[in-house]
Structure 1
Amino acid sequence: MALEEHIGREGFVQGAQGKFAYKLMNDLFANYSNALRPVEDMDKAMNVTLQVTLSQIIDMDERNQILMAYLWIRQVWFDAYLRWNRDDYDGLDTIRIPSSYVWRPDIVLYNNADDQFTGSMETNVVIRYDGQIMWDSPAITKSSCKVDVSFFPFDGQQCRLTFGSWTYNGNQIDILNHLDTGDLTDFVENVEWEILGMPAKKNVITYGCCSEPYPDVTYTLILKRRASFYIFNLLLPCVMISFLAPLGFYLPADSGEKVSLGVTVLLALTVFQLLVAESMPPSENVPLIGKYYIATMTMITASTALTIFIMNIHHCGPEAKPVPRWAKKFILQYMSRIFFVYEVGESCKRPKKGPENGKKPVAQEMNGQAERRDNSAILRNCAEKIRSEKLEEAPDKDNLSKADAPGEWKESGKYPEKGGGGKESRYSECSKTHCVCHNERLLKNIEYMANCFREQKAAQKRTGEWKKVAKVMDRFFMWVFFIMVFFMSVLIMGKAL
């Protein structure tokens, strides 16, 4: 019975309050107008307290410089014509009615960037017996924000939300901030941006159009970008691609892929550069990652040009000039040891040396005429020996027999014995003349072949020296560009830290 009596009493009380609420509504708005500012003295300013709660950051459009946020806006003011005595209405102290029934301050977002100019939702207001009106309304705002992408993706932004009355000046409505900062207790964490703070500041500004002051409350939203996404999707691929560029110098020149590698790396970086440019505003401030891309692309372009130059040195033909003396000393001797470039048969411990402790052979120091004269003398001696051997074998081939005495021949039906006539002496002279002429032609042919062999060997030596010069330059530029890529990567990573 007690429970039933309690429920019946509460239902009676609620029903009674509902009747008093309708009576209060009729009494309050019988002669009320929501068109005029509800103050008793029109010369006094009405105080409006503003409080903004940030619920969520929906989007940050860097290219169009627009911040889209979800806010809860609370406005509190006193209406001089909406007051009542609680005792006359059964202790009723608050009522909730649609906000369109009462006068509302025209507080708007000054830096609004919404093309539809949608305001707050039409929610109810809470009216207290002493005339205090509290209006809580959620709003999705699009505000203009000056975006500085100089240090993208390690940048931070400061976006301002300025609230003020559009038509009432400071002598009519004075805006006060409820707290020195925006409320972040109900903020939903954003995956891209981290909130560092939201300080609030009241400003009183006199615009050029009007002489009256206009107060406003500005909330500064301090944001810091979470760079993990951009590091793993834009920065690290660029760093890895950049380290491929110096390896083009390590490729053998005969492979034919040195220039192709440089061009491929350049095209890959161009694609990443376009991806960054599409999301950034077209301003004069080039983002940090864009500077890194441009520097890397410039380095790869220079490496490709140097590769073409080095390949021309590598593939120079036999008609190339000899390697200059300074290049032989500086590049082939010192730089080749520093960068561990050795020919076949050499090692870092026992470099290849020529005869007599690296000195040239005597034959290489002689001029061409002396060398040809010595070679001719050697060949003539060999030819005389060959001719004497042929003369000794000639009687056997011509069916001639040797005499018992040395130097004597017997004729077998064609020539008399030695000392018997002049034919034998003429035959000997003719044979000697024929052999000498034949050996002279042979000597010329052998000398010609020897000259060709020397020229070919000298050309091969020049070509080998130029190839070694190209290889040393390849190793030198490879380490130079490796160091450049490393320092650029460390620099941009240092900005991240």
Structure 2
Amino acid sequence: LSTMQTHLSLQPLLCCSGAQGKFAYKLLHDLFANYSNALRPVEDTDRALNVTLQITLSQIIDMDERNQVLTAYLWIRQVWVDAYLTWDKDDYDGIDTIRIPSSYVWKPDIVLYNNADDQFTGSMETNVVIRYDGQVMWDSPAITKSSCKVDVSYFPFDGQQCRLTFGSWTYNGNQIDLLNGLDTGDLTDFVDNVEWEVLGMPAKRNVIIYGCCSEPYPDITYTLLLKRRASFYIFNLLLPCIMISFLAPLGFYLPADSGEKVSLGVTVLLALTVFQLLVAESMPPSENVPLIGKYYIATMTMITASTALTIFIMNIHHCGPGAKPVPKWAKKFILQYMARLFFVYEVGESCKSPKRQLGHLPTSPQQELLPPCLCHHNSLMRNVEYIANCFRDQKAAQKRSGEWKKVAKVMDRIFMWIFFIMVFFMSMLIMAKAI
């Protein structure tokens, strides 16, 4: 009994639903009996047809900086009034809207002017929603590739402005007037991008008169304001470079006899060259050098200079016994003042202990007391004097060589601190851009 009652209660609904379906078929037949989707649907051809455009940004798929192409997933909504698609909803059982394929009706030829897609794929052919007063609303998703002028002067701390300009391809402003649905693009359903942060998407209506025609052509330009998320580049390109750069001044601290001073500088230079090539591969070939590229070039220049100075200092260090004595100004300025300033001392030497002066070899008193009559000792005396002179010459040569080595060591310490300060300030300048 309960099943029968339920069946009887649903019969009016099924009958109403079936009747409404018949009215929908009748409405579709009546609307498109004498309708053509080839002509602009206005009763007065001298009046412009208003088309309202609204863009919703759903996702940024890719930002190709090298080719300057932005790939985005958009929802495009176009609303206009078709004068030939109106009906009295009371005549069709209260039907006020119908949804039919978009190919049935006339559609404005709104295109993306700065399209960069080689296949020229347009919007998806979705259904349109037609209201009883003739209002047609067409919502269609589209994956667009637009050209975007990329400025990488401050990469990786840069921001980009990508413009998407929509307008009619064949109709001028006297035939189709394009209007803004909103003052900005809709970002409600935007999916966050891992590389780019969207700051806004303002919309602006422009009316342009091109050189080919005298009629005005309206368009709507959406400016997508992007800011790069720099964390990836800081940890993968910037910090390794900074750490490698701090190794370069340590080449001055290596002992000159180790034979690794020049090798360290060349190795650091090659490592920075690899990082420079990684940045150059992803950047467009333009005159604007990226900020990180400027940092690499400055660091590579500094390391090249440090390697050249290391070679020069090594030549000073390896001055042989035949070298000239250290000039007086160098002894006073480098060996006294600069050595104390940078704490460069020899083994057993301090800033308070006086230097050990090399004196003349003492003459044996026994030799002085030898009577002149002992002529057979003259040969022995000459040999002893020759050995003493050789010993004095050797000590003098060692002193000159030791002074040049100390000059080289002091210069190493001076340049080490100079280059450390340079690397520190360069690193602080580049990191200040990230704040």
Instruction: State TM-score, norm by structure 2.
Output: 0.97
Please state if 1:485 is matched with 2:423: yes
Q: Which amino acid aligns with 2:429?
A: L
Distance in 2 between residues matched to 1:379 and 1:281, nearest whole Å: 89
Q: Secondary structure at the match of 1:496?
A: coil
- Secondary structure of the residue aligned to 1:174 is strand
Give the Cα–Cα distance (whole angstroms) in 2 for the partners of residues 89 and 383 of structure 1.
Answer: 149
Q: Which is higher, the Rg of structure 1 or of structure 2?
A: 1
**Alignment match of 2:289 (pick from 286, 290, 294):** 286
Q: Which amino acid aligns with 2:391?
A: F
Distance in 2 between the 1:5 and 1:238 partners?
81
Please tell me whether residue 381 in structure 1 is matched to residue 368 in structure 2: yes
Q: How does 1:104-253 map to 2 (within 5 A)?
A: 104-253=107-256
Within 2, Cα distance between the matches of 1:268 and 1:210? 57
Aligned partner of residue 86 in structure 2, secondary structure: coil
Amino acid at match of 2:224: L
- The letter of the residue matching 2:412 is D
Matched letter for residue 313 of structure 2:
I
List per-residue Cα deviations over 1:116-157 (Å, max 9, x = no partner).
000000100011111100000000000000000000000000
Residue 353 of structure 2 is aligned to residue 351 of structure 1:
yes
Q: Relative to structure 1, is the Cα distance of residues 440 and 161 closer, same or farther in structure 2, using a 3 angstrom cutoff? A: same
SS in 2 for 1:224: strand
Tell me which residue corresponds to 1:496.
434
Given candidates 292, 317, 322, the residue that maps to 2:320 is: 317
1:42-92 Cα distance to aligned partner (Å, 9 max, x none): 100000000000000000000000000000000000001111111111111
- Superposed displacement of residue 10, structure 1: 2.0
Return the match for 1:24 from 24, 27, 36.
Answer: 27
Equivalent residue pairs, number: 432
- Note closer, same or farther for the CA distance 1:333–1:296 as it changes in structure 2 (3 Å cut): same
Query: 3-state SS of the aligned residue for 2:330?
Result: helix
Q: Which residue identity does 2:419 align to in structure 1?
A: F
The residue identity in structure 2 corresponding to 1:311 is M
1:8 CA drift (Å): 2.2
Q: CA deviation at 1:7?
A: 2.5
Query: In the alignment, residue 204 of structure 1 is paired with which amino acid?
Result: V
Aligned: 1:267 with 2:270: yes
Deviation at 1:471, TM superposition (A): 0.3
Q: Could you tell me how far apart the structure 2 residues matched to 1:203 and 1:326 are?
A: 74
What code does the residue aligned with 1:481 have? F
Secondary structure of 2:149 counterpart: coil
Once residues 439 and 14 of structure 1 are traced to their aligned partners in structure 2, the CA distance between those partners, rounded to angstroms, is 144
Q: What is the match of residue 427 of structure 1?
A: none
In 2 relative to 1, CA 379–284 (structure 1 residues): closer, same or farther, beyond 3 Å?
farther
> How big is the alpha-carbon RMSD for the aligned residues of Structure 1 and Structure 2?
1.6
Post-superposition Cα deviations, 1:205-225, rounded to whole Å, max 9, x if no partner, equal: 001111100000000000000
1:169-222 superposed Cα distances (whole Å, 9 cap, x missing partner):
000000001100000000000000001000000000001111100000000000
Residue 309 of structure 1 deviates from its aligned partner by 0.3
AA paired with 2:88?
N
Verify: 1:38 aligned to 2:25, yes or no: no
Distance in 2 separating the partners of 1:72 and 1:351: 84
In 1, distance between residues paired with 2:370 and 2:12? 147
Aligned twin of 1:88 = 91
Q: Normalization by structure 1: what TM-score?
A: 0.85
1:347 Cα shift?
2.4
> For the residues of structure 1 that align with 2:366 and 2:18, how far apart are their CA atoms?
140
1:13, 1:476 → 2: CA distance?
97
Shift of 1:381: 2.6
**1:331 maps to which residue?**
334
Aligned to 2:106: 103
Give per-residue Cα distances to partners, 1:451-471, cap 9 Å, x unaligned. 111110000000000000000
Partners of 1:318 and 1:354 in 2: CA distance: 20
Whichever residue aligns with residue 300 of structure 1, its letter is: I
> Could you list the runs of 5+ residues in structure 2 that have no partner in the other structure?
none
Displacement, 1:4?
A: 3.4
Task: Quote the residue 1:403 is aligned against.
Answer: none
C-alpha separation in 1, matches of 2:131 and 2:344: 91
CA contact 1:323–1:462 (8 Å) conserved in 2: yes
Cα deviation, 1:374-410, whole Å, max 9, x if unaligned, reads 95x96753654xx9xxxxxxxxxxxxxxxxxxxxxxx
* Identity of matched residues, %: 81
2-structure distance, mates of 1:343, 1:139 = 76
Aligned partner letter, 1:452: C
The yes-or-no answer on 1:458 pairing with 2:413 is: no
Aligned to 1:439: 377
Structure 2 residue aligned with 1:409: none
Asked whether the 8 Å contact 1:345–1:352 carries over to 2, the reply is: no
Aligned-pair distance for 1:11? 1.7
User: Structure 1: any 5+ residue segments left out of the alignment?
Assistant: 364-370, 388-431
Aligned to 1:406: none
Once the two structures are TM-superposed, the CA of residue 353 in structure 1 deviates from its matched residue by 3.0
Instruction: Give the secondary structure class of the aligned counterpart of 2:293.
Output: helix
- Kindly tell me: are residues 48 and 494 of structure 1, through their superposed partners in 2, closer, same or farther at Cα, counting changes over 3 Å? same
Paired amino acid for 2:168: S
Corresponding residue for residue 66 of structure 1: 69
2:51 aligned residue? 48
1:17 Cα deviation from its structure 2 partner: 1.3
Deviation at 1:443, TM superposition (A): 1.5
**Which amino acid counterpart does residue 473 of structure 1 have in structure 2?**
M
Letter in 1 for 2:154: F
Q: Which amino acid in 1 is paired with 2:94?
A: G
Match of 2:171, SS state, is coil
Q: Distance in 2 between matches of 1:44 and 1:197?
A: 35
Query: 1:472 aligns to what?
Result: 410
Amino acid at match of 1:346: E
Q: Residue 54 of structure 1: SS of its match in structure 2? A: strand
| Alpha-carbon distance in 2 for matches of 1:250, 1:31 | 92
Q: Read off the aligned partner of 2:405 and give its amino acid letter.
A: K
